[in-house]
A and B are shown apart, each in its own frame.
Chain A
């Protein structure tokens, strides 16, 4: 469907008979939604009676399917620059569109790292040229992600960096990290960290426990996450910085997070969809597509984290989309690269939590769309007048069996290959324009 412009009137589309998922009000109701000029104009309980209102408008009957704000995905790795054979802005963008992700917040752990305004400009230019969905780049926190010198946080912010993170490279020097946080605070910049004690987790590729020991794989206790979170929270308390933990995946870290929030620290936390839907035993016989960072946890940890998303303690669910080619995965488990692609599987995997009765759709969308948008100061994530018309239409019940070779990502490293899933994206709109679906 193409949206025609009638005369001088702005482009308008009326979505009727939609199951509107509104994470802000926490509602899941049938209604209609009017889009005009790339923005949501109005929400109506039903299609307007006045036939005049329909004139010169596109009308889209949603047939009772779910219409929700597009997903804002913090932490997508698009392997440009450096590893374009694994993923490009084009392939990642189309994968995102097909997965209902309307904003990709991209990671700077590329080669070279995105640590200067010049590299950031390259990324922004490539993204604008090739991606059908919005791309907001993050920048490294320290030069080369080496944990020694801070990047030009001010220039990078002016150039469009929405957050600063060294990704999985933990800034081990607390003095350096404290200064980065202090400097970032003066600019109101968000710092995202990967809480994982580097000493304890050195060389580990699975979570310690019975499974890891039987498989003979080097393992790390989930305590490494709490230790690093404790350190980070102390530094946040000291500096007053805006802090987001990229992935909180273990039960033991949750009380610390709760206390920090209760004490009024400007702290939020995320979790990857894989840690919400898979556990350590899924690795099975050394299946390297299940090797992620941090490693998959026990079932008890998984359930604790799911509950933390339900209660709102964990704010954000993200894909942690990490493309890896076949060569870097077809290796013995210890040597294989970490990470999984997930832009296209994020929504269907999240539907597992819905169908299991753990999370309702507005709560899911609070974590997938509203909270990440709010954390980055974006207007997205809402079904309200004036919000950008970044929307996803999906059928939460449509079943399918995932075939990894049909993924749009260049890399096919998904842990869900051959998995039965429920939940299909039907269409995706960015700024009122359809970027996916017929």
Chain B
């Protein structure tokens, strides 16, 4: 199926067949990335700007590598250090960048909806690399690719997502994607870290982790931000680990072949036991990183194809 979107702003507007298209193309890039010559020319001659208004190491590196392997000219802009501090608005920044004629703009921003706003004002393809607590579509796509490779399918799986659901864009994008692919989703976490109205999302909600993990095929752990550990949302780090940290005993409630995932960076001993995270029989955390590059190559490739055929519109 065709992929007919100008931007990749979220999972929400994607049809299941479009998700499959991205994942199928990503499989080919996995092969390329594992081969001796890691180069393709899908983005040759195009300019990719990575604009991160929030700190990021791995996502930015992943997008950078993806762009370079496809032959794009890649530029990184650390926005938290630059013009925002001088009072420039997001729109002005967008217009400034627009004048540099980028073809692909990869944006991360601390506010929900900010990437959508920016996408309305530039005439290039925009990829959302995470906006506030809204969406992080490439993370959900790389998670889906990892799951599909491990389990052979994305439908009829029991997927447990554990931790700080309320503040997680990764959780939102994953819930949307895996729901579209017809898997069952359970959310596990303390009620203070559950979003309001979560009962209406078509998911099952557990505050007891052992119950939530029973029969799970996939256990997806989320990072708990340091600033949320100090008594405002949970009483303490150690109580959180006791009740919601993933260890071998709790994982024993899931299926015997359940895989363990984490979007990184991990807090060992807070949300996940260090030994378990390194267990190559259960943990696919390293593979997630690998899939990340391939999925981002696929997403940018598809958007670039549309760029070349679809007439450009500008809104100011």
Q: Is B114 an interface residue (CB 8 A)?
A: yes
Q: Mind listing 27 A-B residue pairs with CB under 8 Å?
A: A208-B196, A210-B197, A212-B195, A212-B196, A213-B166, A213-B196, A213-B197, A213-B201, A214-B172, A215-B134, A216-B113, A216-B131, A216-B132, A216-B135, A216-B169, A216-B172, A217-B112, A217-B134, A285-B113, A286-B112, A286-B113, A286-B117, A330-B91, A330-B117, A332-B90, A333-B113, A334-B132
Residues of A215-240 contacting chain B, CB below 8 A: 215-217, 219, 221
CA–CA, A236 and B91, complex, Å: 47
Q: How far is the CB of A283 from chain B (nearest CB, A)?
A: 9
Out of B111, B116, B198, which one reaches A334, CB within 8 Å?
A: B111
Task: Assess the B197–A209 pair: CB atoms within 8 A.
Answer: yes
Find chain B residues with CB under 8 A from A285 CB: 113, 116
Return chain A residues, CB-CB under 8 Å to B198: 210, 213
Expressed in whole angstroms, the Cα–Cα distance for A333 and B117 within the complex equals 9
Bound-state CA distance A219–B197 (Å) is 11
**Min CB gap B197→A, angstroms:** 4
A221: chain B residues at CB < 8 Å are 196
* B296 at the binding interface (Cβ < 8 Å): no
CB-defined contacts of A258 to chain B, threshold 8 Å? none
Q: A333 contacts which of B91, B111, B172, B195 (Cβ < 8 Å)?
A: B111
Number of B residues with CB within 8 Å of any CB on chain A: 24
Chain A: CB-nearest residue to B115: A332
CB B268 to nearest CB in A, in angstroms, measures 27
Kindly list the 6 A-B residue pairs having the minimum CB-CB distance in the complex, ordered from nearest: A286-B113, A216-B134, A213-B195, A210-B197, A216-B133, A332-B111
Chain A CB within 10 Å, residue with most, of B90, B112, B135, B198 = B112
The A316-345 residues at the B interface (CB cut-off 8 A) are 327, 330-335
For B133-158 the 0/1 string (1 means CB < 8 A from A) is 11100000000000000000000000
A211 within 8 A of partner (CB): yes
Cβ B200 vs Cβ A286 within 8 A:
no
Contacting residues, chain A, for B90 (C-beta < 8 A): 331-332
> CB-CB < 8 A to B172: which residues of A?
214, 216
Q: Assess A217 versus B200: contact at CB under 8 Å? Given A331-B90, A332-B90.
A: no
- Please name all residues of chain B whose beta carbon is closer than 8 Å to the beta carbon of A211 when the two chains form the complex: 197
Q: A216-B132, A330-B89 are in contact. Are A335 and B197 (CB under 8 A)?
A: no
Which residues of B from 191 to 211 have beta carbons under 8 Å from A?
A: 195-198, 200-201
B6 at the interface (CB under 8 A from A): no
In the complex, which residue of chain B has the Cβ closest to the Cβ of A326?
A: B91
Scan B113-124; emit 1 where CB is below 8 A from any A CB, else 0.
110110000000
Complex contact B109–A332 (CB within 8 A):
yes
What is the 8 Å Cβ interface bit string for chain A, positions 184-226, against chain B (1 contact, 0 not)?
0000000000000000000000001111111111010100000
Q: How far is the CA of A212 from the CA of B196 in the complex (A)?
A: 8
Give per-residue flags for B156-167: 1 if the beta carbon is below 8 A from chain A beta carbons, else 0.
000000000010
B89 touches A327 (CB 8 A): yes
Cα distance A344–B175 in the bound complex, in angstroms? 43
Whether B116 lies near A208 (C-beta < 8 A) is no
Tell me the bound Cα distance from A208 to B169 in angstroms: 17
Give the size category of A's interface with B: 20 to 34
- Closest CB in chain B relative to A80 CB, distance in Å: 25
The residues of B that contact A219 with a CB separation of less than 8 Å are 196
Q: Could you say which of A210, A331, A334, A335 contacts B201, with CB atoms under 8 Å apart?
A: A210
Contacts of B114 in A (CB 8 A): 332
**Chain B residue at smallest Cβ distance from A285:** B116
Per a CB cutoff under 8 Å, which of B91, B112, B166, B201 touches A215?
B112
Q: Tell me the minimal C-beta distance from B243 to chain A in angstroms.
A: 22
- Bound-state CA distance A117–B237 (Å) is 55
Q: Bound state CA distance, A403 and B131, in angstroms? A: 31
Give the nearest-CB partner of B134 in chain A.
A216
Q: Which residue of B lies closest to A333 (CB)?
A: B113
A216-B132, A216-B172 given as contacts; is B196 within 8 A of A334 (CB)?
no
> Would A215 and B113 be within 8 Å (CB), given that A330-B91, A331-B89, A332-B90 are in contact?
yes
- Per the bound structure, the CA–CA distance linking A221 and B200 in Å amounts to 16
Chain B hits for A208, CB < 8 A: 196-197
Complex interface residues of chain B between 97 and 131 (CB less than 8 A to chain A): 109, 111-114, 116-117, 131
User: Which A residue sits closest to B176, measured CB to CB?
Assistant: A214
What are the residues of chain A within 8 A of B135 when measuring CB–CB? Answer: 216
Q: Judging by beta carbons under 8 Å apart, are B196 and A335 in contact?
A: no
Cα distance A331–B120 when bound, in Å?
Answer: 12
Q: 0/1 per residue, A16-55, Cβ < 8 Å to B?
A: 0000000000000000000000000000000000000000
Give the shortest distance, in Å, between B201 (CB) and chain A (any CB). Answer: 7
A209: B residues at CB distance < 8 A: 196-197, 200
A286 to chain B, nearest CB (A): 3
Which one of A217, A327, A330 lies within 8 Å of B113 (CB-CB)? A217
Complexed CA–CA distance, A210 and B169 (Å): 15
Instruction: Give the complex CA separation of A331 and B53 in angstroms.
Output: 14
Chain A, residue nearest B166 (CB): A213
Residues in chain B near residue A332, CB distance under 8 A: 90, 109, 111-114, 117, 132
- Chain B residues with Cβ under 8 A from A330's Cβ? 89, 91, 117
**A211 CA to B201 CA in the complex, in Å?**
10
**Chain A residue with the shortest CB-CB distance to B113:** A286
A44 to B117, CA, bound (A): 57
* A219 CA / B133 CA spacing, docked (Å): 12
**Interface core residue of B111, B135, B198, B201 (most chain A CB under 10 Å):** B111
Scan A267-288; emit 1 where CB is below 8 A from any B CB, else 0: 0000000000000000001100
Q: A216-B113, A330-B117 are in contact. List 18 more A-B contacts (CB 8 A).
A: A209-B197, A210-B198, A210-B200, A212-B197, A213-B196, A213-B198, A214-B172, A216-B112, A217-B132, A217-B133, A285-B113, A285-B116, A286-B112, A286-B113, A327-B89, A332-B109, A332-B112, A334-B111
Report the Cα distance A327→B135, complex, angstroms. 25
Inter-chain contact A334/B197, CB cutoff 8 Å = no
Within 8 A of A (CB), among B67-102: 89-91
B200 touches A334 (CB 8 A): no
- B18 CB to nearest A CB, Å: 19
Q: Which of A373-400 contact B (CB under 8 A)?
A: none
Closest B residue by C-beta to A214: B172
A212 contacts across to B, CB distance below 8 A:
195-197
Set of chain A residues within 8 Å of B131, measured between Cβ atoms = 216
| Residues of chain B lying within 8 A (CB to CB) of residue A331 | 89-91, 117
> Could you tell me the distance between the alpha carbons of A208 and B89 in the complex, rounded to whole angstroms?
27
- Alpha-carbon gap, A333 to B110, bound state (A): 11
